[in-house]
Amino acid sequence: MQLAAIHHRTESEDCFVIDNEHVRIRVHTAKNDIKQIVAHYTDNYMPTESDRTVELTKIGEGQVSDHWAATLQAPYHRLKYTLEITDQTGAKVIYGDRGFSDFNESNLLADSSYFKVPYLHEIDMTKTPSWVQDTVWYQIFPERFANGDKSNDPENVKPWNATDHPGREDFYGGDLQGVIDHLDYLKELGVSGIYFCPVFKAPSNHKYDTIDYLEIDPHFGDKDLFAKLVNEAHKRGLKIMLDAVFNHIGAESMQWQDVVENGEKSRFADWFHINSFPVEPYQAPTDKRKAPYETFAFEKSMPKLNTANPEVQDYLLNIATYWVKYFDIDAWRLDVANEVDHHFWQKFHDALVAIKPDFYIVGEIWHSARPWLNGDQFSGVMNYPYTLQIEDHFFHKRLSAKDLVEHLTDQLMLYRDNTNHAMMNMLDSHDTARILTVAGENQALALQALAFMLVQPGSPCIYYGTEMGMSGDNDPDCRKPMDWSKQGSPVWEMVHSLIAFRNEHATLGHGEIVMSVTENDLIKVKRVGKESICAYFNTTDHAIEFSGEAVLSQNLTAEKLESNGFAFVIE
Whole-angstrom distance, CA of residue 347 vs CA of residue 350: 5
224 part of the active site: no
Strand partners of residue 360: 331
**Per annotation, catalytic residue among 335, 406, 428, 483:** 335
Whole-angstrom distance, CA of residue 571 vs CA of residue 565: 19
Spell 243-269 as b/e; 16+ CB within 10 A means b: bbbbbbbbbbbebbebbeeeeeebebb
Query: Which amino acid is present at 192?
Result: S
Q: Which residue pairs, CB below 8 angstroms and at least 24 apart, start in 393-402?
A: 393/539, 394/439, 394/445, 394/448, 394/449, 394/452, 394/539, 395/435, 395/438, 395/439, 395/440, 395/445, 395/449, 401/517, 401/521, 401/523, 401/539, 402/517
Query: Which amino acid is present at 566?
Result: F
- Distance, first Cα to last Cα, the chain: 37
Question: How far from 53 is each of 25, 39, 40, 80, CA to CA, in Å?
Answer: 13, 5, 5, 12
**Per annotation, catalytic residue among 175, 364, 410, 467:** 364
Contacts of 337 (CB under 8 A, 6+ apart): 247, 345, 363, 364, 365, 372, 378, 381
Strand partners of residue 240: 194
Helix axes 310-325, 342-355, angle to 10 degrees: 30
55 part of the active site: no
Residues with a known catalytic role: 335, 364
